[in-house]
């Protein structure tokens, strides 16, 4: 839309965020687990498309829940990458702690996200958060996504040589 500065800024910010995993690889001299960059890009695309094309409202409440699952998975992979980075720096944790950390941190980020949704609704009168039931299922979507990330992380760890 011509003259729609807010949407243009959202697209630009999302494009910059999509570059963060690649920049992290380059700056930190690391290799992210396969699929991490794609998961981040798909999550951002889903959210941007949902907002700009109003899919959150057209396909309510299903689109939002799918977006939360995808985002929970993408964030879980980013967190897994962070734990791998720490392990590469000599800070190792038992895998059960890594898996629990992924689930817990995705959950905490989801709570933070829901607070932001409520705040935006209060400030500008939007309808991003539709109440307690919406929040519950958003958090369930985040949790399902984080569980998917944990299963993927477990698969990656099992397929790695034991000397790494």
Phi first, then psi: give them for residue 29, nearest 5 degrees: 55, 55
Terminal Cα distance for the chain, rounded: 50
Highest mean pLDDT among 9-13, 18-22, 116-120, 122-126: 18-22
Query: Residue ranges of the alpha helices (H) in 29-131?
Result: 36-52, 55-58, 62-88, 95-124
Q: Whats the size of the chain, residue-wise?
A: 164
Residue 1 has pLDDT above 70, yes or no: no
Tell whether the torsion through CA atoms of 163, 35, 9 and 50 is positive or negative: negative
- Cα–Cα–Cα angle for 73, 12, 42, nearest 5°? 25
Distance CA 106, CA 147 (A): 10
Residue-wise pLDDT tens digits, 117-152: 899 888 888 777 788 999 999 999 999 999 999 999
Residue 162 confidence (pLDDT): 67
Question: Residue 3 — very low, low, confident or very high, per pLDDT cuts 50/70/90?
Answer: low
CA distance 79 to 150: 10
Residue for token digits 């798909």?
A: 42
59-74, pLDDT tens digit by residue?
Answer: 988 999 999 999 999 9
């Amino acid at each position: 839309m011509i003259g729609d500065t807010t949407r243009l800024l959202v697209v630009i910010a999302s494009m910059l965020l999509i570059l963060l995993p690649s920049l992290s690889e380059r700056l930190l001299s690391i290799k992210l687990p396969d699929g991490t960059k794609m998961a981040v890009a798909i999550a951002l695309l889903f959210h941007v498309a949902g907002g700009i094309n109003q899919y959150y409202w057209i396909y309510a409440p299903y689109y939002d829940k799918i977006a939360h699952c995808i985002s929970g998975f993408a964030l879980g992979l980013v967190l897994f990458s962070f734990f791998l980075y720490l392990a590469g720096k000599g800070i190792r944790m038992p895998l059960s702690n890594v898996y629990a950390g992924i689930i817990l941190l995705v959950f905490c980020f989801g709570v933070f996200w829901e607070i932001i949704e409520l705040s935006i609704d209060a400030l500008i009168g939007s309808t991003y958060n539709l109440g307690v039931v919406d929040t519950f299922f958003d958090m369930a979507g985040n949790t399902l996504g984080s569980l998917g990330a944990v299963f993927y992380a477990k698969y990656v760890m099992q397929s790695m040589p034991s000397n790494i």
